[in-house]
Amino acid sequence: MSSAIPSDTTTVPTDSDAAGNGHQSVDDLSRSLQRFNWPDYMVFVMMLISCIFIGIYFGYKDHQKHKNRKTARRDSEALDYLVGGRKMSVFPVSVSLVASWISGISLLGTSTEIYVYGTQYCYIVFAIVLMGFAMHYIFLPVFHDLQITSAYEYLQLRFDKRMRLLGSILFTLASLLWLPIVVYVPALAFNQVSGVNIHVITPIVCLVCIFYTSVGGLKAVVWTDVIQTTVMVGAMIIVIVKGTMDVGGLAVVIERNSAGQRLEKPM
């Protein structure tokens, strides 16, 4: 798809404007801002390869488990695929749930929101904590006792099959509208730092996700989420530490944010 703005006519002022009124095209500026080197590409490729192998591993493991089983094989396979056999430990499942809500939109958008408007957005954490307690003490015990695989089964038990179908359709529509944005935002960020075409990297990432989910089931999804969350959190910690050191320390960070009126009390 061609850009709506011709790159040869769009220019951006540079530091040399004062001396020679020089201008730089958008394409030139984009190339000058690319920062990916071979270690960055290696981490990215290793992430994709590890996700693929995790899917293959759990898919093969479950296949061997059910290979010689004759009775109730279909139900057992479905249970392993959808809910991991209900035998997964708390830690990886918890990390996976956290990863499910940390999208590229969150990583890129939250930092921009706080940079532009201040820290008031951070106070959403209080509502999230309250929501966690509500989920733990009100909703999850009901789902656990009923031994159901999705919230839509509960809608059928509580109301009827039509309500379950309605809930499924609404969630599917919401996902179809939400997923393109979730995929596009990190693909755009990757394009900006590497130069790889968005229409190339997006299908690759989507196919890898579809592959390990389809082959490995919930177990593969959970453990890939654990790896991805570890990498994301580790990268954010490195960025925070290095950024703080580069500007002169934590005291300088607090001083500059305070001077710029970015530290705000909850309203």
Q: List, run by run, the mean pLDDT of 10-residue segments along the chain (267 residues).
A: 42 44 57 70 87 88 69 58 72 85 79 84 87 88 84 89 93 89 83 82 87 86 89 88 89 86 77
Mapped onto helix, strand or coil, the DSSP state of residue 23 is: strand
Judge whether 150 lies within some domain: yes
The answer to whether position 16 is within a domain reads no
| Cα distance between residue 41 and residue 109, in whole Å | 23
pLDDT at 119: 85
Q: Please report whether residue 15 resides in a domain.
A: no
Whether the model clears a pTM of 0.85, i.e. scores above it, the answer is no
Q: Which residue has the tokens 């990498």?
A: 231
Answer yes or no: is 1 within a domain: no
For the chain, what is the domain count? 1
Q: How far apart are CA 37 and CA 82, in angstroms?
A: 39
Res 1: pLDDT: 42
What pLDDT score was predicted for residue 78?
63
Return d(Cα 94, Cα 222) in angstroms, integer: 9
Contact (Cβ atoms closer than 8 angstroms) between residue 34 and residue 191: no
Domain that holds residue 30: 21-259
pLDDT of residue 17: 45
**Which alpha helices (DSSP H) does 68-160 contain, by range?**
73-83, 90-100, 104-117, 124-134, 140-146, 151-158
Backbone angles phi, psi at 196, to 5 degrees: -70, 135
- 230 found inside a domain: yes
Burial class from Cβ neighbours inside 10 Å (0-12, 13-18, 19+) for residue 140 reads: exposed
Q: Is residue 48 part of a domain?
A: yes
Q: How many CA atoms lie within 13 A of 69 on its CB side?
A: 12
- Nearest partner of 29 among 17, 42, 14, judged by Cα: 14
Q: b/e map of 210-237 (b: 16 or more CB within 10 Å)?
A: ebbbebbbbbbbbbbbbbbbeebeeeee
CA dihedral (11, 12, 17, 21) in degrees, to 10, reads 10
Residue 14 included in any domain: no
CA of residue 138 relative to chain centroid, distance? 27
Q: What pLDDT, on the 0 to 100 scale, is given for residue 70?
A: 55
Task: Tokens for 12, please give them.
Answer: 């951006």
Q: What is the pLDDT of residues 22-76, one digit of tens each?
A: 555 656 655 555 577 788 888 888 888 998 999 898 888 877 776 666 545 555 5
pLDDT at residue 21, as a whole number: 46
Report the pLDDT value the prediction gives residue 170, as an integer from 0 to 100: 94
2 lies in some domain: no
In Å, what is the CA distance from 267 to each residue of 68, 84, 119, 264? 62, 43, 11, 8
Backbone φ and ψ for 248, nearest 5 degrees, come out as 115, 10
